[in-house]
A and B are shown apart, each in its own frame.
Chain A
Amino acid sequence: MPSLSIRGLTKTFGSFKAVDDFTLEAAPASIHAIIGENGAGKSTVVRCLYGIYRPASGTFLLDGRVVAIRSPRDAMRLGIGMVHQHFMLAPSLSVCENVVLGNEPRRGFRFDRERALTEVRDLMARYDMDVDPLVPVRTLPVGLQQRLEILKLLHRRADVLIFDEPTAVLAPAEVLGLFDIFRTFRDEGKTVIFIAHHLSEVLAVSDRITVMRRGRHMGTMDRPDATPEILTRLMVGRDVIRQELPPSGAASADACGRPVLEVRNLPLFDGGEGVSFDIRRGEILGIAGITGNGQRELETLLIGLRPAPAGRLFLEGEDISRHSVRKRREEGMAFIPEDRIRTGLAALASVSDNALAGSQWEERFRAGPFRKNGAIRRFTRALLAGNGVAATHDAVQAGTLSGGNMQRLVMGRELEHDPKFLLAAQPTRGVDVGGCADIHERLLALRAQGRAIALISADLDEILALSDRIAVLSKGRIASVLSRTEACRDRIGALMLS
């Protein structure tokens, strides 16, 4: 009897079907992987299962019985636990307090600290974890914080454990450790459902594999039947062919001229070694690396949100290291930040206010100290229409747009200035497949016009498909810069971990 079944699950957001008639049977004592491209609906499935989203239709069966899951509380009561992509920990509380939070042992009305400590110590001993249960969680590295999330589920006696992209935040050695934990759970008879990003992980650890594409169930197979080729074909519907980049004349003609952007000895982490690289006209420099190796710091320094502690930045030969964000924008730099919701947009402000950002000082929008409201309105409407941003009104809050629409708004706004240099950080994260292709096309079009582009991405395929050269970040320094012909997955992978 399967321990968990999902039957006919459908979840819609407005007119968009995120999950369409999805079915899954997970056996007890097994590791079940769900794979698919970005935006295939994997996270939506597990969020429905954990009661975060209410599905439009579909049933969940636990040990053959239909169960109603209306909230995470229901899910927990049924023994379903989930480790989120973003951890749900209280940084200032101790390890022990975090593990028992929400399920505290009590003595009368009081929190039984002694029993909590023994329970947590027992759990740690059983799963071979060695952490002081009394230190505050904020002092722990990310890998250990994830272990705490797992301990939390075990403390609540969860039998079905869901992991939403658990390896995204981990170093390779930690990934192996996590997989060992998965195997321990399987041996104890628990069901592990995990969402994976990389084929290698799936093939390394899972017993059964389900592939999703555009919200639909594409197929389920046992591990022995699966090969990378079969899975890839199911995931993308075609074999991935690496296309040759069109020649962008500018790059070669300009090779001896000065690069558009020169970065010299710029330390990404305080007190760390500096990084240096150039980007020429008509060139896309891909910046690859595992998340947390300095990408975010590089982004802040290039935008100018934080003053460079040392080192130099040159734009077309001019030293801009000390220039403010506004000055950099006026000089022809544009930025698509990684965090659209917190940096790229003001979620509570109107679409119109968001469209104006970064050009509010320009003559066309300003008469003396006052705004030209008519010009701003026309500009916003043109921007929305020109970039296919589906907003009902230019006064609606930007936070109510979908992820793809937000990204189109940010991208449209940044490209409006016809920049000499564009920073694109994770430009396709959370964007659906069609949207990705569109964004890639626009980046290539900019390249063809002779613009310089820095592309920071966690998606190696994206980097490989678009970049002229690839810089690999590791621990805040550039491990190597590879040319397009030298670059391949294995080599970049090895450099990322160096």
Chain B
Amino acid sequence: MKHSFAREHRDLIIIILSFGFSLVLGGVFIALYGADPLAAYASMIRGALGDGDAVLVTLARAVPIVLATMSIAVAFNGGMWNIGAEGQLFLGAFAAAWVGIDLGFLPGPLLTVLGLALGMGAAMFWAWMPARLSLDKGLNIVVLTIMCNSIAILFTTWLATGPYAGARANSGTTDRIAEAMRLPHFHAFGTLNWGIFIAAAAVLLVALWMIASVAGYEWRCCRMNATFAGYAGIDARSRKMQVMMASAALAGLAGALLVVGDHYRFLTTLSPGYTWTGMILAMMTADRPVAGIAAALIYAVMSSGALEMELATDIPTELVSVIVCCAVLFVTAGVAVADRLANRIRED
């Protein structure tokens, strides 16, 4: 009985063990640094969740990371290697900013909705092109989406430093969007805003679809074995296009929310690589939606508290990345080893 429980939840067990093991390894690094691991981790938690303001700051940090993680997870889970989420995020962000700057005369609520919708739309268009070329013409999706990243990021950089450079702003930022469009911050100390509910709704919807819907089953089949999916009567092309669109919509939403909710303007430094972090987290959780959300929240806590840890113990904030990357290694290795073992003990 216990044995079959372990088999049924094999991946989840590997993920949790890997994460725990990486935390221990991180503790070893801290000890090598001459600090007390438990005290360091405690200061990390205190920094992230120590008081109400800290919690709100951590949550604000979590929003784009959770969106990015889900964006990658839904694409990878459906067998579409969308490496282009970063470019989609930037385009989505700029589209939202453009609405707030050039269409600022429109009434408030309409502006917000239009900004978010156009942000997602721009990102989806940017993902549709490589997806179409890949699905219909057989081009390599990884190469295409990577290239689209550079084009999108450089294009928005040019817009933000050229035609849309802000009049009263630092280089690389646009003017602020219309006042009526902005989602108000919950507190003066951080940028948390109503966007978190929009993000949560989007993430939960996609997660629900992945876990419980017939479409989610067909997405999974496309990744596991595309020939098999076709043979089982699944229209693999349209299913793969669906996951790509869902992925791009989440990435675009992340970008648009950063503009409409957090910064109120487009910045060329808008994303410190949210979707790359999201990719790492999605891989760490084997593209599982619930585990991905949990990992993204944990990562937000760790990275939010890392500064406090650095102040308290001199451990550099990069330790968080080291821990997460170790966890990714353990998970990928663990799943690969488990697959091989399963094939070795097969009964024939």
Looking at the complex, which of B190-198, B229-237, B292-300, B303-311 is the stretch in contact with chain A? B229-237
Kindly supply a per-residue 1/0 record for chain A positions 326-352, scoring 1 wherever the CB is within 8 Å of any chain B CB and 0 otherwise: 111110000101000011111111000
The number of A-B residue pairs with CB atoms under 8 Å apart is 120
Looking at the assembled complex, report how far the CB atom of B216 sits from the nearest CB atom of chain A, in whole angstroms: 8
Complex CA gap A405/B348 in Å reads: 9
* A230 at the B interface (CB under 8 A): no
* B-contact bits for A350-379, CB 8 A (1 contact / 0 none): 000100111011000110011101000000
Interface check B188, CB cutoff 8 A: no
Please give, as numbers and ranges, the residues of chain A lying within 8 Å of B217 by CB-CB distance: 353, 356, 360, 371
Contact pick for A399, options B212, B235, B342, CB 8 Å? B342
Q: Are A399 and B346 in contact (CB under 8 A)?
A: yes
Q: B215, B228, B342: which contacts A346 (Cβ < 8 A)?
A: B228
B residues near A232, Cβ cutoff 8 Å: none
Chain B residues touching A, majority SS: helix
A 291-332 to B, binary, CB cutoff 8 A, 1 in contact else 0: 000000000000101000000000000000000111111100
User: Judging by beta carbons under 8 Å apart, are A348 and B346 in contact?
Assistant: no
- Answer yes or no: A404 CB below 8 A from chain B CBs: yes
Say yes or no for B347: interface residue by CB 8 A criterion: yes
**B51 is an interface residue with CB less than 8 A from chain A:** no
Decide yes or no whether B213 CB sits under 8 A from chain A. yes
Q: How far is the CA of A231 from the CA of B27 in the complex (A)?
A: 69
User: Which of B89-97, B219-227, B249-257 has 4 or more CB atoms under 8 Å from chain A?
Assistant: B219-227
A59 within 8 A of partner (CB): no
Please measure, in the bound complex, the distance between the C-alpha atom of A196 and the C-alpha atom of B339, giving whole angstroms: 33
Say whether A390 faces chain B, with CB atoms less than 8 Å apart. Answer: yes
Chain B positions within 8 Å of A329 at CB level: 233
- Total interface residues in chain B, CB < 8 Å: 31
B20-42 CB contacts (< 8 Å) to partner A: none
A360 to B218, CA, bound (A): 8
B269 at interface (Cβ–Cβ under 8 A)? no
Contact in complex: B213, A348 (CB < 8 Å): no
Q: Is A109 an interface residue (CB 8 A)?
A: no
A353: which B residues are within 8 A, CB to CB? 217, 220-221, 224
Q: Which residues of A contact B167 (CB under 8 A)?
A: none
With beta carbons under 8 angstroms apart, the residue of B7, B218, B228 that contacts A344 is B228
The answer to whether the Cβ of A401 comes within 8 Å of any Cβ in the partner chain is yes
B345 CB–A CB distance under 8 Å = yes
Q: Which of A349, A370, A395, A399 contacts B214 (CB 8 A)?
A: A370
Bound-state Cα–Cα, A303 to B232, Å: 10
Bound complex: CA A329 to CA B216 (Å): 20
List the interface of chain A (C-beta within 8 A of B): 13-16, 18, 303, 305, 324-330, 335, 337, 342-349, 353, 356-358, 360-361, 365-366, 369-371, 373, 390, 392-393, 395-397, 399-405
